[in-house]
């Protein structure tokens, strides 16, 4: 593993690292913030999964999460959103290919060779982090934005007991019923071959539940709100009587201005669950 950069940040270290991925068949890059407490031993960790067109860098630079993570003594992990590099398939559409892995394991050509972001985020990268850094694998939480919110919710529900809490900013909540979100997932997995219980947060919550608390923030002026379908997730939370909170934030859009505004709330929400 190569350290691309390491910078002092709020008493801790914000690093960027590159490593060969056996799952994705290419080099992958991720950001990792370790608070000062990590110098003394393993610390709890919050995963942040980013949205369409993002790399590991967008949230790392724009979300303002490090300040709040340092205050709470938790680590932050910023994975990339897709495989990248020479020979990796891409598409001219922004919601397919590079920057748009949708956190699934592709089975269709040309995507199947590299686009295995579910296994990368849920299996390969966690093992690497625990072995290489002061990360407490028993205390993990997960959050994400947009496509990353979809990934955070579905992965959290698929791994019972792994994550203490889950949250999302403007997540894609119900892709099986959203034509816009359905198309790229069909491209990766094949139309008629998608296990929607695994890759649709509303269906997964009804089928699998989630043991911890859930926090969702959605801007009312989000230009993608009709495709995101926050009302569907609110209905699933109500029907399952899950301890979840959906907050409709007046006049906020889909940008990192929205994410950074409520980041302190989300980090504190996860820290409370992680420290019990």
Residues labelled as active-site residues: 146, 222, 254
Return the ∠ at Cα 76 (arms to 182 and 161), rounded to 5°: 65
How does DSSP assign 45-59, residue by residue?
A: EEEEE--TT--SHHH
Short-list 72, 55, 52, CA closest to 10: 72
The H or E element that residue 22 is part of is none
Cα-based distances in Å from 64 to 33, 47, 199, 267: 12, 14, 29, 11
CA–CA dist 163, 142 (Å, integer): 7
CA–CA dist 161, 134 (Å, integer): 21
Cα-based distances in Å from 135 to 42, 69, 127, 131, 256: 5, 14, 10, 8, 27
Give how far the C-alpha of residue 127 lies from the chain's centroid of Cα atoms, to the nearest Å: 17
Beta bridge partners of 16: 5, 31
Q: Pairing between strand 135-145 and 43-49?
A: parallel
How does DSSP assign 115-137, residue by residue?
A: -BHHHIIIIIHHHHHHHHS-EEE
């Amino acid at each position: 593993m190569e350290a691309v950069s390491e910078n002092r940040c709020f008493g801790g270290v914000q690093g960027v690292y590159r490593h060969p991925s056996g799952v994705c068949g290419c080099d992958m890059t991720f950001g990792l913030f370790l608070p000062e407490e990590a110098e003394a031993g393993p610390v709890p960790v919050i995963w942040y999964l980013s949205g369409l067109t993002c790399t590991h860098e967008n949230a790392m630079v724009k979300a303002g999460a490090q300040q709040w993570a340092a205050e709470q003594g938790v680590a932050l992990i910023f994975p990339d959103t897709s495989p990248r590099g020479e020979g990796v398939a891409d598409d001219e559409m922004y919601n397919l290919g590079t920057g748009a892995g949708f956190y699934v394991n592709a089975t269709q050509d040309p995507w199947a060779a590299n686009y295995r972001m579910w296994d990368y985020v849920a299996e390969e990268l966690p093992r690497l982090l625990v072995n290489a850094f002061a990360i407490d694998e028993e205390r993990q939480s997960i959050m994400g934005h947009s496509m990353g919110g979809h990934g955070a919710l579905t992965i959290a529900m698929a791994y019972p007991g792994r994550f203490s809490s889950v949250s999302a900013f403007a997540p894609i909540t119900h892709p099986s019923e959203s034509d816009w979100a359905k198309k790229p997932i069909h491209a990766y997995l094949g139309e008629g071959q998608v296990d929607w219980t695994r890759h649709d947060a509303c269906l997964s919550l009804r089928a699998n539940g989630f043991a911890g608390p859930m926090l969702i923030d959605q801007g009312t002026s989000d230009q993608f709100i009709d495709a995101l379908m926050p009302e569907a997730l609110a209905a699933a939370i109500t029907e399952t009587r899950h301890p979840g909170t959906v907050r409709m934030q007046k006049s906020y859009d889909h940008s990192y201005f929205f994410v950074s505004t409520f980041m302190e709330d989300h980090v504190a929400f996860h820290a409370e669950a992680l420290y019990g």
